[in-house]
């Protein structure tokens, strides 16, 4: 395999998605148990689930500094260490609400740094011909993590009536995350460093050695020469940023980063995953077991959608998948809303949720950070991904916290009969579809060609 080392490193780094997906599975599966233990109302229940996302916002703030100063690989390791500290903290001290929130926030900070750093890493170690597929690994492994997280939670909760200890049960389920995070951390030490980061630090010999290892068919000397033309040192980096700001192109990059990150969350994917068991319980009143099984099937469609993206994004391009996916996302949510408004409950609603999850993951979910990382010139990559991470997690927090409030609003339910959240998310999906028309295609382009797109330096 020509790019074996690059692909292996990408799969390991992209398994950050597995850690997040596992966390989503156990968090969504145990939120009722946590709320019962702490006697939480709807608002506090939403906050207990969303404090992880608050931490992720804070972690994303430090993305640029850590990535540019210490490198992409070290940023991944640091983020994972924070995740591990948070997971251990919840297991040991989670019976106190304040400490539960603190530890979940620490874990979230680690994940925020991880998710903002991974796209920079993947973008910079991937050959252009397969960069899209490698960039979709993050979303693919997230689906696998969701499946395992819900499966572990469901099977452990089956014994709750026997054990008769709610606190021990949900803390132990959270404790299983320690093993998942620790394994991921160990593997991170074996991935290669980003050669582009070494070039940013004027460490050309180290960069060339890695490039020869991971890109055996690329002329390393020519790559280094071309890289030097656009972003050779810190002064030039500042100049590039100044040039883009002066020409107005920095605003365009920020706008694209903002709407890609925000609308991917404002369409409601994470709340639907977090609360999927409750949603299915209302649609399918057969019992809680059925709801949990349906949540696991959610993860299956999540994974299949991501796999489709991995296999097709380098062939059809980013914009094509975004056009198709965002339209289907918006339409499926709207149809769900109409059926719930008309009190027309059937398995069709379940299938539409599956369709939404599938279309989300072969388009917006898999492409958002990949696209932002590709589109950003090298000196600004960590900056734009850090900014996108803040926007992404802040938007995630907004929808996760407000979902139970909106869903339980007497006023909205009187008007929309329980369908309001689907109509709201559908509108955001449609806005996303419209804005896709405004973005350039990055399929198959080298990082230097993308720098030329921004006209950062005259020939």
Structure confidence at residue 197 (pLDDT): 92
Non-local (6+) Cβ contacts of 346 within 8 A are 339
Structure confidence at residue 222 (pLDDT): 84
Quick: pLDDT tens for 52-106: 988 999 999 999 999 999 999 999 999 999 999 999 999 999 889 999 999 999 9
**If you write DSSP's letter for every residue of 290-317 in order, what string do you get?**
HHHHHHHHHHHHHHHHHHHHHHHHHHH-
Q: Are 64 and 388 in contact (CB under 8 A)?
A: no
**Residue 62 phi, psi dihedral angles, 5° rounding:** -95, 10
Q: Are 28 and 296 in contact (CB under 8 A)?
A: no
pLDDT tens sequence for the chain (459 residues): 688 999 999 999 999 999 999 998 898 788 888 888 888 887 788 788 888 988 999 999 999 999 999 999 999 999 999 999 999 999 999 889 999 999 999 999 999 999 999 999 999 999 888 999 999 999 999 989 988 998 898 888 877 767 767 777 889 999 999 999 999 999 999 999 999 999 888 898 999 999 999 998 888 888 888 777 666 545 544 566 667 777 778 888 999 999 999 999 998 886 666 555 656 666 665 655 666 677 778 788 889 999 999 999 999 999 999 999 999 999 998 998 898 888 887 778 878 888 999 999 999 999 999 999 988 888 888 889 999 999 998 888 788 777 777 877 778 878 877 778 889 899 999 999 999 999 999 888 887 777 777 765 433
Q: Are 110 and 83 in contact (CB under 8 A)?
A: yes
Q: What is the 3-state secondary structure (H, E, C) of 366-387?
A: HHHHHHHHHHCCHHHHHHHHHH
- If we measure between CA atoms, which residue out of 250, 260, 310 comes closest to residue 126? 310
Q: Are 195 and 210 in contact (CB under 8 A)?
A: yes
Non-local (6+) Cβ contacts of 27 within 8 A are 49, 52, 149, 274
Handedness of CA 230, 231, 235, 239 (dihedral sign): positive
CA distance linking residue 352 with residue 344, whole number of Å: 13
Q: Which two tokens stand for residue 432?
A: 């996303």
């Amino acid at each position: 395999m020509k790019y074996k080392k690059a692909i292996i490193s990408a799969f390991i780094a992209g398994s950050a998605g597995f850690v997040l997906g596992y966390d989503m599975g156990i968090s969504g599966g145990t939120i009722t148990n946590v709320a019962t233990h702490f006697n939480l109302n709807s608002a506090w229940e939403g906050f207990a689930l969303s404090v992880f996302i608050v931490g992720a916002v804070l972690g994303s703030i430090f993305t640029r500094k850590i990535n540019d100063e210490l490198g992409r690989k070290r940023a991944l390791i640091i983020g994972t260490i924070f995740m591990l500290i948070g997971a251990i903290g919840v297991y040991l001290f989670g019976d106190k609400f304040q400490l539960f929130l603190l530890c979940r926030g620490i874990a979230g900070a680690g994940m925020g740094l991880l998710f903002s750093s991974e796209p920079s890493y993947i973008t910079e170690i991937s050959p252009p011909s397969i960069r899209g597929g490698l960039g979709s690994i993050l979303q693919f492994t997230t689906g696998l993590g969701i499946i395992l997280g819900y499966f572990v939670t469901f099977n452990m909760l089956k014994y709750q009536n026997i054990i008769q200890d709610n606190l021990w049960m949900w803390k132990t389920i959270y404790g299983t995350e320690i093993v998942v995070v620790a394994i991921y951390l160990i593997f991170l030490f074996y991935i290669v460093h980003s050669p582009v980061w070494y070039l940013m630090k004027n460490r050309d010999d180290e960069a060339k050695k890695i490039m020869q290892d991971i890109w055996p068919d690329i002329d390393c000397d020519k790559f280094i020469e071309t890289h030097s033309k656009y972003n050779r040192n810190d002064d030039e980096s500042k100049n590039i940023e100044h040039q883009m700001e002066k020409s107005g192109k920095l605003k365009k990059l920020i706008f694209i980063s903002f709407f890609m990150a925000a609308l991917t969350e404002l369409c409601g994917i994470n709340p639907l995953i977090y609360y999927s068991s409750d949603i299915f319980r209302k649609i399918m009143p057969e019992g809680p077991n059925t709801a949990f099984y349906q949540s696991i099937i959610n993860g299956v469609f999540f994974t299949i959608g991501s796999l489709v993206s991995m296999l097709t994004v380098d062939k059809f391009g980013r914009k094509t998948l975004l056009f198709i996916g965002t339209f289907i996302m918006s339409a499926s949510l709207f149809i769900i809303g109409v059926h719930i408004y008309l009190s027309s409950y059937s398995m069709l609603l379940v299938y539409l949720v599956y369709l939404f999850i599938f279309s989300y993951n072969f388009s917006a979910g898999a492409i958002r950070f990949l696209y932002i990382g590709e589109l950003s010139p090298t000196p600004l990559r960590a900056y734009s991904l850090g900014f996108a991470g803040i926007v992404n997690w802040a938007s995630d927090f907004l929808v996760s916290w407000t979902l139970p409030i909106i869903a339980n609003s007497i006023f909205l339910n009187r008007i929309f009969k329980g369908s309001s959240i689907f109509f709201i998310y559908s509108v955001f999906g449609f806005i996303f579809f419209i804005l896709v028309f405004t973005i350039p295609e990055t399929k198959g382009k080298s990082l230097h060609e993308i720098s030329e797109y921004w006209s950062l330096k005259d020939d």
